[in-house]
Amino acid sequence: MLALKNLKKTYVVGGTTTHALNDVSLSFRKQEFVAILGPSGSGKTTLLNVIGGLDQYDSGDMIINGQSTKNFKDIDWDAYRNNSIGFVFQSYNIIGHLDVISNVELGMTLSGVSKAEKHAKAEEALTRVGLKDHMNKQPNQLSGGQLQRVAIARALANDPDVLLCDEPTGALDSETGLQIMELIQELAQEKLVIMVTHDADLAYQYANRIIKFKDGEVLDDSNPYDNTDGDAKLDMKRTGMSYLTALNLSFKNIMTKKGRTFITSFASSIGIISIAVVLSLSNGFQKQIDATQAETSAQYPITVASVANNSTAITISNEEQTAYPSTDTVIASEDEATANQHENNLTQEYVDYVQDIDPSLIAALNYTYAAQMNMLREVDGEVQSVVFSNYEQDSATGDIQSFYATEMGTGASTFPESPEGDDNAFLSENYDVLAGDLPSETTDLVLVVDKFNNVNINALNNLGFSYEDGEAINFDDIIGTEISLVSNDAYYQELPTGNFVPNQDIAVVYDNDSNQTLRIAAVIRPKEDATMAILNQGINYSNALTQEVIADSQDSAIVQAQKDSDLSVITGQTLDEEAKATALTSLGADAMPTSIMIYPKDFETKDQVLDYLDAYNEDKAEEDKILYTDLASTMTELTGGLMDATTYVLVAFAGISLVTSMIMIGIITYTSVLERTKEIGVLKALGARKKDITRVFDSETLILGVLSGLLGVAVAYALTFPINTIIENLTDLKNVAQLDPRHAVILLIISTVLTVLGGHIPARMAAKKDAAEALRAD
């Protein structure tokens, strides 16, 4: 069944040529016990390895069942080894990290035998070699003779046609050696057994054919056979190892060296740890910066007021002058503030332009109007005038005019319009509703309290309540409070003199059909993490309500009268132009806001907002330009630069860590490859393909990668606590380092992918290792 024809194999090492096989021609029977006898270095192992397909011959041919092997590919040799050949080595080559039965099952694992069948066959083979009781032991619990029995069982388990034994008793005492020989002799009853030995006594005692070998040549053959074709059909089923088997094999290997695995995964996780820490820090810093930016922009919105400072004008005027002149004059000049003061004439065009701003750039937009609202409320059966104000009113005079005087310019707050269109988006994003519901109508009001639930006592008492300082008021006493909003025409009465006074018959005014009913709909409080809690304490209402009041007031008799008169139609005082404009505005004559406040989302979008506002002025004449005031400008530049610098440093750190991590993994895998050389040889002898070997090491690095990833993330998470304590002590910033769970998952994946990548090259090296050489390495 097996024939060798003029086989030659030569090794050239450093100029010395060794003819390990020198024109060997031999034929073997389907069943016989052949002993190859020869001195050390005569080429016996080489012959066996060539026959077993572990090593390739240089020239000649090996005929298996009449088939030449000249054109065999790797995969054919793998299948041949796995299905037809059983190897037994002098040094047993049992894989130390697998228990006895798993060692025996290994060859079948490669040929894809089912688990149950594998187990049954392995048990059978172990029973045969007398080790049934030891099958769950670890290799290091067995004696040399028992290990060699395991090796024989492993060779037998897959029921090979040929059993190749290389000095099987060489490492055993003579007593045990004889037992092994008897076992092999028994097997030779049913298989072709080729045994290499340099012990002539053993050979003559057990074998039925002795081939003497010297310097790679056959000296003598006691029982030659000249059939070169063979008869039985060899089973050449392809082999292959599943990823699961590879994983299992590697997992068992790793489990035998837990301590070392822990240290190596820790070492390689350092990269992951540093990236995770860097990420959690930058994560936290980013959040901190975002919050600061949002808060800054909440505190210092871009403001378009009636007057702005023209900063470009300053530079120009200074540029025209000579510094440190040697003249004997002083120059009378306006102070800078006055010189550069720019009057903004807010027009509908500009308001529309601002309204058209890209909603994604801004968090909120707020308009201030100076129009006053005429309001009455019935308290304890008595109607009285009320105002939205946090200032203490002079209740003694009861003069509504005095309210105006105090209220001018300060105004009650209106909540900003939400750029996204949802009317309550701003409120629900930044405020918790403590009672009631967010406004559903323009006439719905909200009462804003601070984080202690404080509300300015004036805000309540100006609505007609009479609370003491420190008094606790039930939400129920506030929610639903109704206030009558009265139009100018209903509120003011024209006197025969042409002057106007508030109608003294307040109860009649209160009952006017045209009155609108305002209602306190909700008590709201800034959220703990709100960045845009910009509303004043006290009563707030929608911009739409103001618009309605203004629309209604513009046509009122008092406004018309005031427009036509240079005297105040209420007090009769002479008004200059400015005072007249103010009076008109407060009566609701002016539809233009007195100021617009724009709250950008963050500093980056703020730049875009400013660009947008600048674009408006491009083709405008000087007096038509609308200039804004950007109070937060200096802060923008500062944090922007800091942010960039920090980012670069962090990115550099992360990069270095990544590279270190990869190199680390490569080294670790390479070490593992060196260490498991024997195992690679055994796997190959059992028919493992290159691919399978790669898989074994890839799966080892996969396990290492997952382990180091998990470890890295866990350690980094644990580190955030001391880091936060340190940062808090140094800077007062709380909870800066925050590990984002998404980052943790990504890092775990990165660790795994990088580890497998870093380990893949050594794994490929392992697969390419010469099996024959690997097994010789003792």
User: CB under 6 A: which stretch of 37-45, 442-450, 680-688, 700-708 binds ligand ADP?
Assistant: 37-45
**Spatial CA neighbour of 28 closest among 204, 279, 224:** 224
Candidate list 1, 2, 20, 535; residue touching ligand ADP; CB under 6 A? 20
Please identify which residue in the block is written with the tokens 């009320």.
386
- Closer by beta carbon to ligand ADP, 166 or else 417: 166
> Which entry of ligand ADP, Mg ion, none binds 71, CB below 5 to 8 A by partner kind?
none
The residue count for binding Mg ion (CB under 5 A) is: 1
Q: Could you say whether residue 45 binds Mg ion (CB under 5 A)?
A: yes
- Cβ distance to ligand ADP smaller for residue 38 or 284: 38
Neighbours of 375 (CB within 10 A): 22
Instruction: Give the interface size with ligand ADP as a residue count (CB under 6 A).
Output: 13
Q: 156: which residues sit within 8 A by CB, 6+ positions away?
A: 86, 125, 128, 129, 163, 187
Stretch that binds Mg ion, among 41-49, 99-107, 337-345, 595-603 (CB under 5 A): 41-49
44: contact with ligand ADP by CB under 6 A: yes
Q: CB of 580 within 8 A of CB of 614?
A: no
Give the range of 40-48, 108-116, 135-143, 264-272 binding ligand ADP by CB under 6 A. 40-48
Q: Which is nearer to ligand ADP, 10 or 617 (CB)?
A: 10
CA 310 vs. chain centroid, Å, equals: 46
H/E run at residue 558: helix 557-563
Q: Taking the CA of residue 321 as centre, how many other CA atoms within 13 Å lie in the half-sphere pointing to its CB? A: 15
Q: How far is the CB of 44 from Mg ion (least distance, A)?
A: 5
Longest CA span, the chain: 150
Q: Rounded CA gap, 376 and 389, in Å? A: 14
402 binds, among Mg ion, ligand ADP, none (CB under 5 to 8 A by kind): none
Using CB under 5 A, which of the segments 7-15, 42-50, 321-329, 551-559 binds Mg ion?
Answer: 42-50
The residue with its CB nearest to Mg ion is 45
Find the part of the chain contacting ligand ADP (CB under 6 A) among 42-50, 105-113, 565-573, 583-591. 42-50
Q: Which is nearer to ligand ADP, 43 or 145 (CB)?
A: 43
Q: Which does 738 bind (CB under 5 to 8 A by kind): ligand ADP, Mg ion, none?
A: none
Considering the rule CB under 6 A, would residue 18 count as an interface residue with ligand ADP?
yes
Listed ranges 39-47, 108-116, 523-531, 679-687: which one lies at the site for Mg ion (CB under 5 A): 39-47
Provide the minimum distance between the beta carbon of 763 and Mg ion in the complex, in angstroms, as a whole number. Answer: 29
- Is residue 46 involved in binding ligand ADP (CB under 6 A)? yes
Q: How far is the CB of 17 from ligand ADP (least distance, A)?
A: 10
State the nearest-atom distance from the C-beta of 58 to ligand ADP, in Å.
Answer: 12
Binders of ligand ADP in range 748-777 (CB under 6 A):
773
CA distance to 43, 591, 642, 652, per residue, from 655 (Å): 53, 58, 20, 5
Q: Which of 45, 253, 385, 585 binds ligand ADP (CB under 6 A)?
A: 45
| Binding range to ligand ADP, per CB under 6 A, among 13-21, 77-85, 258-266, 447-455 | 13-21
Q: Which of ligand ADP, Mg ion, none binds 449 (CB below 5-8 Å, type-dependent)?
A: none
* Residue 452: both structure tokens together: 């202690």
Binding string, 547-586, against Mg ion, x = CB under 5 A?
----------------------------------------
Q: Among ligand ADP, Mg ion, none, what binds residue 13 when CB lies within 5 to 8 Å by partner kind?
A: ligand ADP
CA–CA separation, 309 and 313 (whole Å): 9
The minimum distance between CB 20 and ligand ADP, in angstroms, equals 4
Residue 474: burial class (beta carbons within 10 Å; 0-12, 13-18, 19+): exposed
Is residue 41 involved in binding ligand ADP (CB under 6 A)?
yes
Q: Does position 11 bind ligand ADP by CB under 6 A?
A: yes
Is the distance from CB of 683 to CB of 692 less than 8 angstroms?
Answer: yes
Q: Please give the residue whose beta carbon sits closest to ligand ADP in the complex.
A: 45
Q: How far is the CB of 56 from ligand ADP (least distance, A)?
A: 12
Among 200, 172, 175, which residue's Cα sits nearest to residue 88? Answer: 172
Taking CB under 6 A as the criterion, the residue among 1, 26, 42, 361 binding ligand ADP is 42
CA dihedral 197, 202, 204, 210 (to 10 degrees): -10
Residue 42 interaction partner, one of ligand ADP, Mg ion, none, beta carbon < 5-8 Å per kind: ligand ADP
- Contact between 40 and ligand ADP per CB under 6 A: yes
d(CA 561, CA 564): 5
Piece of the chain touching ligand ADP by CB under 6 A; list 36-44, 541-549, 561-569, 656-664: 36-44
User: What b/e readout covers 425-436, taking b as 16+ CB neighbours within 10 angstroms?
Assistant: bbbebbbebebb
Q: Binding of ligand ADP at residue 43 (CB under 6 A)? A: yes
Which partner, Mg ion, ligand ADP, none, binds residue 107 by CB below 5 to 8 Å per kind? none
| Residue 606 interacting with ligand ADP (CB under 6 A) | no
Q: Determine the Cα–Cα distance for residues 346 and 368; give it in Å rounded to an integer.
A: 12
- Write out the two tokens for 176: 């045990």
Q: Which stretch binds ligand ADP (CB under 6 A): 41-49, 172-180, 184-192, 242-250?
A: 41-49
Q: Which residue has the tokens 């923008």?
A: 636
Least distance (Å) from Mg ion to the CB of residue 151? 16
Residue 46 or 488 having the CB closest to ligand ADP: 46
Helices (H) and strands (E) in the chain, counts: 27, 26
Residue 427: partners with Cβ closer than 8 Å, 6 or more residues away: 415, 438, 439, 446, 524
- Beta-strand relationship, 500-502 and 444-448: unpaired
Residue 246 contacts by C-beta under 8 Å, 6 or more apart in sequence? 692, 695, 696, 698, 699
22: contact with ligand ADP by CB under 6 A = no
Question: What angle do helix axes 100-110 and 144-157 make, rounded to 10 degrees?
Answer: 20
- 165 versus 626: smaller Cβ distance to Mg ion: 165
- Which residue reads 């509303």 in tokens? 535
Helices (H), 567-632: 577-586, 603-617
DSSP sequence for 715-765? HHHHHHHHHHHHHHHHH---S-----HHHHHHHHHHHHHHHHHHHHHHHHH
Instruction: Give contact residues for Mg ion (rule: CB under 5 A).
Output: 45
Instruction: Give contact residues for ligand ADP (rule: CB under 6 A).
Output: 11, 13, 18, 20, 38, 40-46, 773
